[in-house]
Chain A
Amino acid sequence: MSIAGQPGITPATIIRPPTGWAALRLAELWEYRELLYFLTKRELQIRYKQSVVGVSWAVLQPVLLAFIFTVFFGVLAEIPSDGHPYALFAMAGLVPWLFVSQTVAQSAGSLVGDANLLTKVYFPRLVIPLAKALALLVDLVIALGVLLAVALLYGEMPGPETLAMPVFLILGLVTGVGLGILLAAANVQYRDIGLVTPLLIQVWLFATPVIYPGSLVTGDWQYLFALNPMVAVVEGVRWCVFGDSAPDPLAVGISATVALGLLALGIGYFRRTELFFADIV
């Protein structure tokens, strides 16, 4: 870094009143990648330092929930599972669901939680919710390992369709980040968003085929159903695990379009409002 500074080499920054829609400024986000790295590291360190069970939290959560779901929904309520063992069926749905819903929940509260940073230092505000999503990706990788182990236990061997799993997980990431940053920005201005988010996630769980199979929704209804991008994510991951009943391409297309639309809306709204976070948070 030049300390003496030579004119023409050091970049000039112009600070002006904001006008209209802000640019995406992705290059700037890239410049701050190290901050993103350290914030993500902070998330992981705090999470695993503070809980008694440490890293096993990422393992326990899907396993425990899958067990409870199996007892209540599989055994007692006899909810169908497309002929698959309910425990594995539930877990294949829970792993992507937990990842996305936690991304949304943690992102939504992230800006308000780091208000002291927002009011003191400049950096692209997107790194705060993105750090939450990245830290949860680490949990997801661990949870996928557990899912694989349970699948092998039930005799489900990975097939060629398993290779498609990253596509569905990325779709889940897009959905989670899109909705997460939208709620995070809105939460700065309207503090009751934080109260509404858990309720929204509850409702969303029932609109997503985690407990029940997506095959319950048939005919043209499935295209309406697919407006919830999580339908394609959960059904896609299940397909990768069990290898039968590939998801309808049109339905996946609808889900993907909604997910990308949500991400565009999220980024747009975030970029438009982020300049004023420090004034109102």
Chain B
Amino acid sequence: MTRDIAVRAEDVGKLYRLGELTGGYKLLSEQLAEGLRSFGRRRSRREEFWALRDISFEVERGETFGIIGHNGAGKSTLLKILSRVTPPTEGQVQLNGRVGALLEVGTGFHQELTGRDNVYLNGAILGMTRADIERKFDEIVEFAEVERFIDTPVKRYSSGMQLRLAFSVAAHLEPEILVIDEVLSVGDLAFQEKCLGRMETVAGEGRTVLFVSHNLTAVSTLCPRAMLLQSGAKVAEGRTEDVVEAYVRSVVRETGTLLTERDDRQGTGKLRFTEVLFEAGGRVVDSPATGDDFEIVLRYETADGKPIRNVSFAVQVLTLLGDVILHLYTRTAGVQVPEAPGVGEVRCFVPRCPLPPGQYAVTLWADQGGDPVDWIQRACELTVREGDFYGSGQTQLPSHLSVLVDHRWTVAAADGTAAAEGGVTGARSA
């Protein structure tokens, strides 16, 4: 039986010179001066690196295929090759069908033009024909919920309205192969859910979809099969669950929990953290789940191997963007450590992990009477798995939450007669 292949990539690689990443353009005057100076000499080899190497995969027609990986793993380079924005350095890709890329929302929106003009312009940029756009125009405008303002220049739109309109144009593309980059993080929650629904429809229509994301939940929901990129190479491919698991494992392995090699630390160095790990239910875990009790374990040793006096420890949990979510500090917790042994272990117990699923960075700190002794920013990453925080069976959480808390709801009539009541105060520990 011959399979019906929509996308076939064979040994695809992309080589960048280092300068090209930070804007590859030069000045002609510089180039000429350089040419004169180095006349007769060999040109120095510039630093090169493979953003992508030996990538092969096949996607069948009608399949929804996920591509996951950390930032810098080569996802966006692969996307640019698939959408023909940049050519590969080696290998080849065969695309059987018209390709539409939904890379970045709002590309080509012009502030002076009206919503209507921008829909047509943007549609044309994304590869839609005028007839296509005309046919879908009302649908696009309705989906974006901007009917009343469609003949107003988009500079008068709120940023949310612009995003909605831009996504709506892109969401109505009808190519045979659709390449989608992280676009679900657009607009408010209700709109995000609408977008997700739209993507499911697209996938359900028998079109081939390549979905690139680091939103593991979205990938798991939409794609039965996926591959994992790491440092420009394909490290896993297969059932999405297995690939996601490999990804979660790679997070821990990649960042490393051994800290002895870290030299980007600050402080006097009288005490140094040597290792950080997470434990749940008495076992070392890669990633605790939302709502699970877990422990952050810090191992350390002092410089002279002797006990150290009057020391305080802190653990910060940050988003990957750098916003501090948790600041756990012995001193603010009222814990005195008059003397800590020369080699030891610090444990910080966090009941019912209040962090929604996602990736976080962990910063470690130790001080002696306020003077930093050891301070390692982003010592490791912490991945939180999906879990049932509220004990309500609802594990699906809206994205872009920072923290979960217990709470209680009451709905009542004006005279105080309760109509509904419910809460999740300590639901699981109670």
Contact = CB atoms under 8 A, between A and B. Distances in A.
B369 interface: no
A56 interface: no
Contact of B103 (A5, A17, A38, A120): A120
B86 to A, nearest CB: 5
A15 interface: yes
Interface in A98-153: 114, 116-123
A121 B85 CA distance: 6
Contacts of B94: 12-15
Interface stretch (A44-52, A209-217, A250-258): A44-52
Given A15-B84, A34-B129, A191-B27, A1 B113 contact: no
Contacts of A119: 80, 85
Interface residues of B, number: 56
A275 B124 contact: no
A118 B83 CA distance: 12
Contact of A35 (B6, B124, B207): B124
Contact of B16 (A12, A15, A190, A279): A279
Interface string A2-43: 111101001111111110000000000000001101110110
A192 B124 contact: no
B415 interface: no
A38 B121 contact: yes
Contacts of A1: 98, 132, 174
B16 to A, nearest CB: 7
Contacts of B90: 17
B95 interface: yes
B125 A117 contact: yes
A123 B100 CA distance: 11
A34 B86 CA distance: 23
B87 A14 contact: no
Nearest to A281: B25
B117 interface: yes
Contacts of A17: 87-92
B396 interface: no
A190 B98 contact: no
A18 to B, nearest CB: 5
Contacts, number: 148
Contacts of B417: none
Given A3-B174, A50-B112, A121-B101, A16 B87 contact: yes
Nearest to A186: B28
A120 B104 contact: yes
B110 interface: yes
Interface string B53-71: 0000000010000000000
B81 interface: yes
Nearest to B61: A5
Nearest to A14: B94
A108 to B, nearest CB: 13
B26 interface: yes
Contacts of A34: 124, 129-130
A119 B86 CA distance: 8
A175 B390 CA distance: 71
Contacts of A186: 28
Nearest to B80: A278
Interface in B101-137: 101, 103-104, 107-108, 110, 112-113, 117, 120-121, 124-127, 129-130, 132
Contacts of A275: 86-87
B95 A15 contact: yes
A42 B27 contact: no
Contacts of B96: 5, 7, 10, 12-13
Contacts of A118: 85
A187 to B, nearest CB: 9
A193 interface: yes
B112 A45 contact: yes
A13 B95 contact: yes
Contacts of A123: 125, 127
A188 interface: yes
B260 interface: no
B9 to A, nearest CB: 9
A106 B56 CA distance: 42
Contacts of B282: none
Closest 7 CB pairs of A and B: A280-B24, A190-B28, A122-B84, A15-B93, A38-B124, A13-B95, A35-B124
25 contacts: A3-B174, A3-B206, A10-B176, A13-B94, A13-B95, A15-B93, A15-B94, A17-B87, A17-B88, A17-B89, A18-B87, A35-B124, A37-B130, A50-B112, A117-B125, A118-B85, A120-B101, A121-B127, A122-B85, A190-B31, A191-B26, A276-B86, A279-B86, A280-B25, A281-B24
Interface of A: 1-5, 7, 10-18, 34-35, 37-39, 41-42, 45-46, 49-50, 114, 116-123, 186, 188-193, 196, 275-276, 278-281
Given A10-B176, A34-B124, 16 more contacts: A3-B174, A10-B96, A11-B97, A14-B92, A15-B93, A16-B88, A17-B87, A35-B124, A120-B101, A120-B103, A121-B107, A122-B83, A122-B101, A123-B127, A276-B86, A278-B80
